[in-house]
A = this chain, B = another copy of it.
Amino acid sequence: MKKKIRVIQYGIGPIGASIVRLMRQKNSLEIVGAIDTDAKKVGRDLGEVVGASDAPWGVLVSADAASVLAKPADVVVHSTSSYLTSVMDQLLACLGAGLCIVSTCEELAYPFRKHPQLSKTLDEAAKEEGVALLGTGVNPGFVMDKLPLTLSAVSQWVDWVSAVRIVDASKRRLPLQKKIGAGMTPDEFRAQVAAGVIKHHGLPESIAMVADGLGFSLDDISETIEPMIAEEVIKTEFLEVEPGQVAGVHQVGRGTAAGQEKIFMELKMYVGAKNPADTVVLNGDPNLTLTIPGGTHGDVATAAVVVNAIPSILAANAGLRTSRDLPLSFFPGNAVG
């Protein structure tokens, strides 16, 4: 029998829990440890914490990262924060234990431009231990970077790229609906943006990854965050948005070279979104458009892309990798049932 891949889950928020439930379905993965500092989770069975019907699993959630990371394991799935500065110590501890990492940390998806020194530190630490780490997810990590880059494999040349993602947040979790400002006044929204609370992370990372992949020498990457304003009453399972109130976020990222726009990325994530879809356009030879009608579902797909990346990161050359470097596809993992 082939040896199972031993995984430690680091962070059991909504996304971490979704990842854990998916990993449990793969016979070739074995969850050997779980780390979280939330007092409501520590000491409890991981299966129970993530609401699994087959709980208990016999794996307890621990707040003592060092002792969990000391267990025999192959890879850490890490899901605690969007900010690289906040997770450096966690990542270095994992690498120091000789473990590969797949992380949902958005800033890790392509950290070279914003955090060149931290990138170097992580790359060196990983190489020293002969392991690899990857930040990934749907966005950044797939829809706005891996997908346009993969499509560009059939391009003789590329002049301009756009990736537009329209997400209907109506069916998403309440925390997500609140996170995008649904139900706020435009003033409240702008205050939350100014305070750094409302923001989807990843557009600059995706722009930098695509630019480097396509050989665009960008002078500047800029980003704006505006509210999407409801024009009519929008009701979700959790809340109601009045006309004039905020329905969600509208973020635009631009990469420019010599004053010219080379990369355009737009994310509209709001309740009541019309025609949700992911659309990638490459202007060049040939001109190419790729559409995923309905779009790539955020929570389901994020958990998927993280779990599917596990075999790729285990097979990767040591160091700090990105989804640009790795072949990514579904990981069958001898699915249960």
A168-197 interface (Cβ within 8 A of B): none
Q: Across the interface, which residues of B come within 8 angstroms of A329, CB to CB?
A: 149-150, 152-153, 213-214, 324
Q: Which of B158, B327, B333 contacts A330 (CB 8 A)?
A: B158
A288 in the interface (beta carbon within 8 A): yes
Task: Count residues on chain A whose CB falls below 8 Å from chain B CBs.
Answer: 49
Question: CB of A291 within 8 A of chain B?
Answer: yes
Determine how many copies of this chain the complex contains: 2
Instruction: Judge whether A308 and B155 touch: CB under 8 Å.
Output: yes
Question: Which of chain B's residues have a CB closer than 8 A to the CB of A297?
Answer: 286
In the complex, are the beta carbons of B328 and A153 less than 8 A apart? yes
A 9-46 contacts with B by CB, 8 A: 22, 25
Q: Are B290 and A290 in contact (CB under 8 A)?
A: yes
Q: Chain A 256-299, CB within 8 Å of chain B: the 1/0 string?
A: 00000000000000000000000000000110111111101100
Q: Apart from A150-B328, A152-B308, A156-B300, what 20 extra A-B contacts exist at CB < 8 Å?
A: A138-B154, A146-B150, A149-B329, A153-B304, A153-B329, A154-B301, A154-B305, A154-B308, A155-B301, A155-B308, A157-B330, A213-B330, A214-B329, A215-B333, A215-B335, A286-B296, A286-B300, A290-B292, A291-B293, A324-B329
